[in-house]
Structure 1
Amino acid sequence: MTAYAVAHMRQVTMGPQIVEYLHRIDATLEPFGGRFLVHGGDVEAVENEWPGHLIIIEFPDRRRMRGWYGSPAYQAILSLRTDNSDSVVIMVDGVEHPHKATDVLR
């Protein structure tokens, strides 16, 4: 089942470390089939407020997503982001298709 790494980047201090992180992250995703679906951009908050940016990275499954996050390549750059941002990162599974809202009641 497809899985997603989702980050709410509430505040980022743009500087050399974040720039280095951005230059290096793509290579860490490739071996695990990860790809950006959303990477910043304008957020239109239609209910309440949304401070910051949203990042969504898709993986073929949770196993590969966890493999990416725990990989030596990603761990080597992780502090470049965490030391320079205020963020929340979660991992979540997608849904099987077709999916209806009432499927969560089962």
Structure 2
Amino acid sequence: MPAYAIARLRPPRTLHEEVLTYMERIQSTLDPFDGRFLVHGAPAREVLEGDWPEALVIIGFPSLVHARDWYASEAYQALLPLRTRHMDGDVLLIDGLAPDYDPATTAAALRLAQLP
């Protein structure tokens, strides 16, 4: 099942050279884990609800194991401070859904769980 690394990053007022180096090198840390950017900052966006001043990053992986192994890898951990010293943010890893996922089935299970 696919998995994703999702980051909501608060860009600094001035983009530091270390952040640019991080951006230049991150793909090489993703390649061994079959990671690929699906969204990277997305300059064109439409906020339909709420407020969203942050940048959104979504990286896809074949599985949660791949995503965890990438984040914990020596190569990525060595690179990570180049971003974290200059950009605050929130990052999470999350499982994706099977292609046949049906939200109505989930709703039915939740209804049953609420019955006395």
Q: The TM-score by the shorter chain falls in which range?
A: over 0.9
Q: Match of 1:22?
A: 23
Give ranges in structure 1 of 5+ residues lacking alignment. none
SS at match of 2:80: helix
Q: Match of 1:85?
A: 87
Residues in 1 aligned to 2:91 and 2:11: alpha-carbon distance in whole angstroms: 13
Q: Match of 1:59?
A: 61
TM-score by length of 2: 0.86
**What whole-Å deviation, never above 9, does each CA across 1:12-67 have from its counterpart, x for those lacking one?**
34111001101110000000000000001222100111012100000000001000
TM-score by length of 1: 0.93
SS at match of 1:80: helix
Residues in 2 aligned to 1:16 and 1:100: alpha-carbon distance in whole angstroms: 45
SS at match of 1:25: helix
Give ranges in structure 2 of 5+ residues lacking alignment. 110-116
**What whole-Å deviation, never above 9, does each CA across 1:47-104 have from its counterpart, x for those lacking one?**
1110121000000000010000000000001011111111100111100111121233
Deviating 4+ runs (over 3 angstroms) = none
Computed over aligned residues only, the root mean square deviation of the Cα atoms, in angstroms, reads: 1.2
Q: Paired residues, what number?
A: 106
Which structure dedicates a bigger proportion of its chain to strand? Answer: 1
Larger radius of gyration: 2
Residues in 2 aligned to 1:10 and 1:25: alpha-carbon distance in whole angstroms: 18
Moved more, 67-76 or 37-46: 37-46
SS at match of 1:97: coil
Identity, % of aligned positions: 43
Q: Match of 2:113?
A: none
Residues in 2 aligned to 1:27 and 1:52: alpha-carbon distance in whole angstroms: 25
SS at match of 2:38: strand
